[in-house]
Amino acid sequence: MTIKVGDKMPKGTLGIMTEAGPGAISTDELFAKKKVVLVSVPGAFTPTCSAKHLPGFVQHADDFFAKGVDTVACMAVNDVFVMRAWGKDQGVGDKVKMLADGNGEYAKALGLQMDGSAFGMGMRGQRFAIIVDDGKAVHVAIEPPGKFEVSSAERVLAKLK
């Protein structure tokens, strides 16, 4: 079942790179008592993701924080090493938390996995953005295949009160 507005975010664990190396963050730690914008892209270093999607959230991070967002996070079905390298390449610094969904388990738990096998990418996460308030999805923007419209930083920012 696909996540929808009003649903509690599923429990899970995502990979993060720490000062000590690869680590993990639970969704409880990520979402509990916080307002979070969770963005998902089909893959790090892919064209639309690198040219438009992630850069918009980096550029507007301060605008999100000014509207009460505690964390802006970007998730992809990639490993923590790739997510760290992509974050460095994109200059995310402390603005966006880079999350690895290495096996696509969290994308699957959200009902938002996609089969990119036709493009040599295997199972991936769909392009989406979810505003989460204390563990509950309050806005869900899922892109149709090949599109980049409803999950842009500007569109998500406009949904914040």
* All residues at 6 or more sequence positions from 43 whose CB lies less than 8 Å from its CB, including other chains: 49, 76, 77, 78, 116, 121, 124
Residues 156 and 61: beta-carbon distance below 8 Å: no
Question: Hey, which residues are catalytic here?
Answer: 49
DSSP-assigned beta bridge partners for residue 35: 133
Which of 110, 116, 142 has its CA nearest to residue 129? 142
